[in-house]
Copies of this chain bind each other. A is one copy, B any other.
Amino acid sequence: MKDKNISVAVIRRLPKYHRYLKELLDNDVKRISSKELSKMIGFTASQIRQDLNNFGGFGQQGYGYNVEDLYMEIGKILGLTRPYNVVIVGAGNLGQALANYTSFDRLGFKLQAMFDVNPKMIGLKINSVNVIDMDQFETFVDENNVEIVYICTSREGAQDVADRIQKTKARAIWNFAPVDLKIKNDMIVENIHLIDNLLTVSYFLKSRME
């Protein structure tokens, strides 16, 4: 599986396929055609076939796709063949919300610790995960083979955290702070910019009024 020259647009559709296939699997559906999937997901059947074919011929003519196989294949493509150690920086409401999502754990994103600078938070346990002093961040990350860091700090604190992550062995950042982090090396960064998304809602609300 080389995965090269695959466009980001394709990659961002993969989780959706994964999600719908899981649903089909849970409903004991054994096979699915691109046409049927198309109806459920809302992409064209052509697009679905072309997306999947970037990674291999998973289907069979006259039959369609085996739901379980395809689910597993897409899981492989998405890197879900092994667990990833993660930590959260910022133990506020958002950090706690993420700590409590069991679905992340189920997919293999294993929360090892949470970090905060607030003495009132340090020492707490959230969903049986310790909140640790930020002083110990770099040491903990390297000693526990943490690969992904979720940044749940304020806008002001985020860049500092990003700088510190770059000194560790961690290789990916999932950023929830409303700022574009300046990253020097080849770190993987995904942003959840809530405000950006909410502003598209107001844009569409306004547009519909005209």
Contacts and interface: CB of A to CB of B under 8 A. Distances in A.
Nearest to A74: B199
A197 B174 contact: yes
B93 A15 contact: no
Nearest to A40: B180
B194 A194 contact: no
A205 B171 contact: yes
A12 B196 CA distance: 7
Interface stretch (A30-38, A95-103, A133-141): A95-103
A15 B192 CA distance: 13
Q: Which secondary structure dominates where chain A touches chain B?
A: helix
Contacts of A92: 97, 100
Interface string A81-125: 100100000001110111011011001110000000000000000
A107 B178 CA distance: 14
Given A84-B205, A93-B93, A94-B97, 20 more contacts: A11-B200, A14-B200, A14-B203, A15-B193, A15-B195, A41-B180, A42-B180, A77-B206, A78-B202, A79-B199, A79-B202, A79-B206, A80-B199, A103-B178, A107-B198, A109-B202, A172-B204, A188-B205, A190-B200, A192-B197
